[in-house]
Structure 1
């Protein structure tokens, strides 16, 4: 485009000198000469204006030339402020996101993640798998175990256990556990019957042993325990079961409100976390979880075809069909992005302005000229042609 604009200028110069030379013989060439003369003036003026934006024309330090290199810092700041005021302030972001249905789009993707979504899912899965395989396993595992252990140490588990036990009792979810404990007691009694008989025999005095009453006493104890476990398993209102339930209710209350119980539970928790077996268990848990994540990321379609896929598709259907959830998620996303703009908009503006300030004058000149230079050369061409037409009109008016 530079060649075209400059070539047109030189062509007008040739036309001017040719018309000037042959004007005495052909008077009508005065109109051509007037057009070419004004075209040269217009082309030279626009060449000066376009060149003055990026550099000094002919290398001469003419005032108010090389405008962009001299003002690159101010231009960078103005561009950064433009971005901030039009894109990176909370009200503008919230207004622009008002018509974006993020929850609906997420729901459609989760419900039927084919096509472009499939490629996105495959790429994201591959990236996650590469990250988990590339990171130092020992160091990352140590970080995960340390984070879990630290979080457990900081968290007071006693109120959580108390609340969980209280909820289980309110919903009768403790009954299967209680019945399982009764069955375990019955099996333990059968398995340890010889041990009970031996204990009774050892504790009995010589009179009981002489009369063989120790055997009858052992039979009575074992039969009584068997009868107790049988009655407890068949009678929901058995006094012992009621006493156990009352004890569980009291334990749930103590776990939530009694300082001594809470302190004791915290002591047990800390002793448990200090045990090496727990560290080994956490390490095994991490290794199993890491292997599962890598396996799932290597075949995301298989992972999504199972229970996880069903859950995600159900979530997608819910997001699409429930307007209240969709509205709540969109509102949350809008507030989150607006909050990010409010928190980090200034940092982004600073990054833009400092990046442009860090460019040298030649770099920013070349980049801007590459972006808009083609249109600027059209200005030179238009200036040449429009200048010629204006010169022709003025010559006509002067002649008549």
Structure 2
């Protein structure tokens, strides 16, 4: 495009010289040739002016130290800051990110990828991401990374208000009566335990009975009465939804849930139990084993994604993808979470990204900046030169016409 624009300018110059020679040699043609001369003369002026303007953006025309030329190299740092500010103000503010994500159905797109992961570009995207993840996992020290993962997990668990969480869960379970199957199972387990240890219970009663009761056989009757009463009470509580003991249990659980949320002593006790569990060596060993199994499973999966997605896991992922693609309520939840996450990223790290762009451009030398910007918009700038040549010529013809008429 630069060659074409320059060639057009040279053509105008050559035509101007030729038309002037013809006008001198053939005075009778001076009238019609005057329009051609005016066109080519003004076209040269327009082409040269736009050549100067375009060149002055990137370098000094003909190497001359003309003021306000080589604009981009001289103002490289200011341009870098302007680019960074433009990026921040138009792309990386939380409001802009939220607005741009408003109409984007991320859940549906993710669902399509999960439901049909082997289709064309999706397959290449999945394989590329899997290979990158595998390389990262293998390049990191397993022990150090495991320590970081466990330390991060521990920090997150320590931040959890376990008392409030348990209290809310217990409240919700009681409100929805989801605790009843657990209660009934616990009562059955108590009955089975009593039945399995019946000889030991009888022996305990015999040992604690006095001599008269043992001589009269009342200790055996007492043991039978205790066991029969226990079995009867457990059976009644299990089969009778309105049994008074159930109401007492519900009342106790409700009080416990309230204490977990509001009673400082109970909350401190729950927090202490949580910290004691985290300090327990058995929990640390369990976390070590869980991390190693998870890491090995993840490596196997990313090294062979087709095999990993086969069988029940692949079917589960496919079902998740179909659910994301078909369930509007699930899409709403996932999209809301994604928007909040990305808005949070923009809020926390937007300034860092902007600073990275600014500092990167500032580190480039002036010629690199000029070459890259010219390479991006140079074609359009050469069109400016072409348009300047043509429009200048037309303006020259218009001015010559008005001059002849007046």
* Equivalent in the alignment of 2:287: 282
Distance in 2 (alpha carbons) for counterparts of 1:106 and 1:347: 28
1:168-207 matches, cutoff 5 A: 171=177, 172-173=180-181, 174-189=183-198
TM-score (norm 1): 0.71
1:305 partnered with 2:321: no
- Label 1:219 to 1:287 Cα distance change in 2 as closer, same or farther (>3 A): farther
Q: What runs of 5+ residues in structure 1 fail to find an aligned partner?
A: none
* Equivalent in the alignment of 1:253: 255
Q: Determine if contact 2:114/2:317 at 8 Å carries over to the other structure.
A: no
After TM superposition, the structure 1 stretch with the greater mean CA deviation from structure 2, 181-190 or 308-317, is 308-317
Larger radius of gyration: 1
1:63 partnered with 2:67: yes
Distance in 1 (alpha carbons) for counterparts of 2:86 and 2:365: 22
Specify the SS of the correspondent of 2:68.
Answer: coil
* Equivalent in the alignment of 2:327: 318
Distance in 1 (alpha carbons) for counterparts of 2:39 and 2:163: 96
Give the C-alpha shift of residue 397 in structure 1: 7.4
TM-score (norm 2): 0.70
After TM superposition, the structure 1 stretch with the greater mean CA deviation from structure 2, 357-366 or 115-124, is 115-124
**Candidates 47, 50, 65, aligned match of 2:51:** 47
1:5 partnered with 2:5: yes
1:362 partnered with 2:363: no
- Label 1:283 to 1:188 Cα distance change in 2 as closer, same or farther (>3 A): farther
Q: Determine if contact 1:169/1:249 at 8 Å carries over to the other structure.
A: no
After TM superposition, the structure 1 stretch with the greater mean CA deviation from structure 2, 142-151 or 367-376, is 142-151
Q: Determine if contact 2:205/2:223 at 8 Å carries over to the other structure.
A: no
Distance in 2 (alpha carbons) for counterparts of 1:396 and 1:154: 84
Distance in 1 (alpha carbons) for counterparts of 2:238 and 2:64: 107
Distance in 2 (alpha carbons) for counterparts of 1:247 and 1:394: 102
Distance in 2 (alpha carbons) for counterparts of 1:81 and 1:156: 40
1:371 partnered with 2:376: yes
Q: Determine if contact 1:256/1:262 at 8 Å carries over to the other structure.
A: no
Distance in 1 (alpha carbons) for counterparts of 2:115 and 2:323: 7
Give the C-alpha shift of residue 202 in structure 1: 8.7
Q: Determine if contact 1:255/1:261 at 8 Å carries over to the other structure.
A: no
Q: Determine if contact 2:184/2:238 at 8 Å carries over to the other structure.
A: no
Equivalent residue pairs, number: 387
Deviations 1:130-155 (A, max 9, x none): 54444322222223333444555555
- Label 1:15 to 1:138 Cα distance change in 2 as closer, same or farther (>3 A): same
* Equivalent in the alignment of 1:231: 232
1:72 partnered with 2:81: no
Q: What runs of 5+ residues in structure 2 fail to find an aligned partner?
A: none
Distance in 1 (alpha carbons) for counterparts of 2:169 and 2:403: 102
Distance in 2 (alpha carbons) for counterparts of 1:262 and 1:89: 40
Distance in 1 (alpha carbons) for counterparts of 2:78 and 2:325: 48
Distance in 2 (alpha carbons) for counterparts of 1:20 and 1:73: 49
Q: Determine if contact 1:93/1:337 at 8 Å carries over to the other structure.
A: yes
Give the C-alpha shift of residue 179 in structure 1: 0.8
Deviations 1:105-135 (A, max 9, x none): 4555556656344554454455445544443
Distance in 1 (alpha carbons) for counterparts of 2:353 and 2:193: 65
RMSD after superposition = 4.7
Q: Determine if contact 1:19/1:29 at 8 Å carries over to the other structure.
A: no
Distance in 1 (alpha carbons) for counterparts of 2:96 and 2:280: 55
Distance in 1 (alpha carbons) for counterparts of 2:394 and 2:168: 90
